[in-house]
């Protein structure tokens, strides 16, 4: 039998609990809504970049121009043959504007693969220019876009015969940067990001873990180690541009390393992620119960054996998670890379750690700043690739944690 006052208090407490749960659910819902809005806008804007407009025309592989390597000439004569009524020089320039200036590469590759093509005629799908691409995908109408009235007319006539079509945009994945949106790709940036990440992982992981192990398991607790600890915690909160300035002063100006190299980028990102890895590793080491250490010591293990045989394996899931999250954070950085010259236009895909390279977030930044309309969708598509990159890394962190997780 509960008296009335108790009943009222109980009801209030239950109501408070329900309210609290509601607040929690509301904040989760808000966070989810933001995430969904972000994904929807990015995917909605970017998915069209994975397709690319092509124009099918009959190309005759004449021996003369092929020998001279004038594949652009083949493209031009194919278009001229398709529209024989276009004769004036200026009109022809307009006509050739429908096709990308990089369309001749396809023809060159075709002839290289099969020299028997010379002297034959084939229908080839040529890469359309970015202006045509934007009109065909419906981002701008033919009248309001950058196409001239005649270009719009020619495009309409090509569309009537079914010559214009969308194909999968492989260039976007394989090519480096370009000022022509239809020739631009994230290939160079992905490779640059990978190189920088390899350097970061190879340096930050062993350095960070050994520092954490020493500080946690071996170092005496005195004023010096406390000072070091405070400094590490401070470093974790330093703005990333400061690490870029440090990298510029130390690696470029003092050690004379090359500008724009992923090696230097990786070194700077190592400096940036080290404090985070140390803090995460120390927390993971602290979480290993002291009974494990004492038991091992009791059985006669040395301090090093205690660490390498017992504490470190048990702390590994936490250490790995911390490392991967710190690296994932590092590959999303642009600010520290500005100082060491990685915010740059680089066409060639880097082949080594010293070649000039850029990274994915920098590519996003550079494209977001470009006037060409076709870069709008490519910016979003590059963000999607970056998000996929991060998702894979976080997934890896979860898998590793699950695999090594131990319970006491």
Partner 1 sequence: MLKKTLAAAVATVAFASAAEARDQIRIVGSSTVYPFSTTVAEQFGKSTSYKTPVIESTGSGGGIKLFCAGVGLGHPDITNSSRRIKASEVETCAKNGVTAITEVKIGYDGIVIANAKTASRFDLSREQVFLALAKQVPVDGKLVANPYKTWKQIDAKLPDQPIEVLGPPPTSGTRDAFVELVMEEACGKFPEIVALKSDAAAHKTACQSVREDGAFIEAGENDNLIVQKLSGNPKALGIFGYSFLDQNADKLQGSLINGVQPSFEEIASGKYPVSRPLFFYVKKAHVGQIPGMREFVAEFASEKSWGPDGYLADKGLIPMPTAERKAMAEQATSMADLKM
SS3 186: coil
Residue closest to 386 by CA, chosen among 237, 259, 197? 197
Separation between Cα atoms, residue 306 and residue 313, nearest integer Å: 10
Show Cβ contacts of residue 364 under 8 Å, excluding neighbours closer than 6 positions: 379, 382, 383, 386
Separation between Cα atoms, residue 265 and residue 356, nearest integer Å: 10
Q: Is 145 in the site for partner 1 (CB under 8 A)?
A: yes
Q: Is 368 in the site for partner 1 (CB under 8 A)?
A: yes
Residue closest to 48 by CA, chosen among 163, 185, 166? 166
Q: Is 68 in the site for partner 1 (CB under 8 A)?
A: no
Q: Is 219 in the site for partner 1 (CB under 8 A)?
A: no
Identify which of residues 56 and 219 has a Cβ nearer to partner 1 in the complex: 219
Q: Is 140 in the site for partner 1 (CB under 8 A)?
A: yes
Q: Is 75 in the site for partner 1 (CB under 8 A)?
A: no
SS3 115: helix
Q: Is 328 in the site for partner 1 (CB under 8 A)?
A: no
**Among 25-33, 136-144, 149-157, 300-308, the segment contacting partner 1 (CB under 8 A):** 136-144
The CB-of-198 to partner 1 minimum distance in angstroms stands at 14
> Is 343 within 8 Å of 337 (Cβ atoms)?
yes
> Is 357 within 8 Å of 265 (Cβ atoms)?
yes
**Among 113-121, 149-157, 219-227, 335-343, the segment contacting partner 1 (CB under 8 A):** 335-343
**Among 112-120, 144-152, 296-304, 307-315, the segment contacting partner 1 (CB under 8 A):** 144-152
- From candidates 369, 402, 407, 408, binder to partner 1 by CB under 8 A: 369
Strand 51-60 relative to strand 164-168: parallel, antiparallel, unpaired?
A: antiparallel
- From candidates 87, 112, 161, 256, binder to partner 1 by CB under 8 A: 256
The CB-of-306 to partner 1 minimum distance in angstroms stands at 21
Identify which of residues 193 and 260 has a Cβ nearer to partner 1 in the complex: 260
Show Cβ contacts of residue 187 under 8 Å, excluding neighbours closer than 6 positions: 173, 174, 175, 176, 349
Binding residues for partner 1, rule: CB under 8 A, are 93, 101, 140-141, 144-146, 178-180, 210, 252, 255-261, 263, 338, 341, 343-348, 354, 356, 366, 368-373, 376
């Amino acid at each position: 039998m509960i008296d009335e006052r108790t009943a009222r208090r109980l009801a209030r407490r239950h109501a408070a609990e329900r309210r609290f749960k509601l607040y929690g659910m509301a904040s989760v819902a808000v966070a989810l809504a933001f995430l969904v809005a972000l994904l929807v806008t990015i995917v909605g804007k970017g998915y069209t970049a994975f397709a690319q407009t092509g124009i099918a025309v009959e190309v005759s592989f004449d021996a003369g121009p092929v020998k001279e390597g004038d594949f652009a000439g083949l493209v031009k004569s194919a278009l001229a043959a398709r529209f024989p009524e276009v004769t004036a020089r200026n009109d022809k320039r307009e006509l050739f504007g429908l096709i990308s200036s990089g369309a001749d590469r396809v023809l060159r590759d075709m002839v290289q693969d099969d020299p028997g093509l010379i002297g034959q005629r084939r229908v080839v799908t040529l890469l359309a220019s970015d202006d045509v691409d934007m009109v065909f995908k419906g981002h701008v109408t033919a009248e309001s876009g950058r196409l001239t009235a005649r270009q719009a007319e020619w495009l309409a006539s090509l569309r009537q015969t079914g010559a214009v079509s969308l194909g999968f945009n492989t260039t976007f994945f394989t090519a480096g940067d370009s000022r022509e949106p239809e020739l631009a790709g994230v290939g160079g940036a992905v490779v640059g990001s990978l190189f920088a990440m390899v350097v970061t992982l190879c340096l930050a992981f062993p350095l960070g873990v050994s520092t954490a192990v020493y500080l946690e398991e071996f170092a005496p607790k005195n004023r010096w180690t406390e000072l070091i600890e405070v400094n590490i915690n401070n470093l974790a909160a330093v703005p990333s541009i400061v690490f870029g300035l440090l990298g510029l002063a130390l690696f470029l100006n003092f050690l004379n390393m090359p500008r724009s190299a992923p090696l230097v980028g990786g070194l700077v990102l190592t400096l940036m992620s080290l404090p985070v890895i140390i803090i995460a590793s120390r927390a993971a080491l602290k979480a290993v119960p002291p009974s494990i250490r004492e038991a091992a010591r009791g059985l006669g293990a040395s301090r090093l054996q205690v660490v390498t045989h017992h504490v470190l394996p048990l702390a590994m899931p936490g250490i790995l998670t911390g490392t991967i999250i710190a690296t994932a954070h590092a590959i999303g950085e642009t600010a520290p890379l500005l100082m060491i010259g990685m915010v740059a236009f680089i066409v060639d895909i880097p082949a080594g750690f010293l070649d000039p390279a850029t990274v994915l977030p920098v590519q996003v930044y550079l494209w977001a700043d470009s006037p060409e309309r076709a870069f709008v969708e490519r910016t979003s598509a590059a963000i999607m690739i970056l998000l996929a990159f991060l998702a894979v890394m976080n997934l890896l962190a979860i898998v590793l944690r699950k695999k090594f997780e131990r319970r006491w």
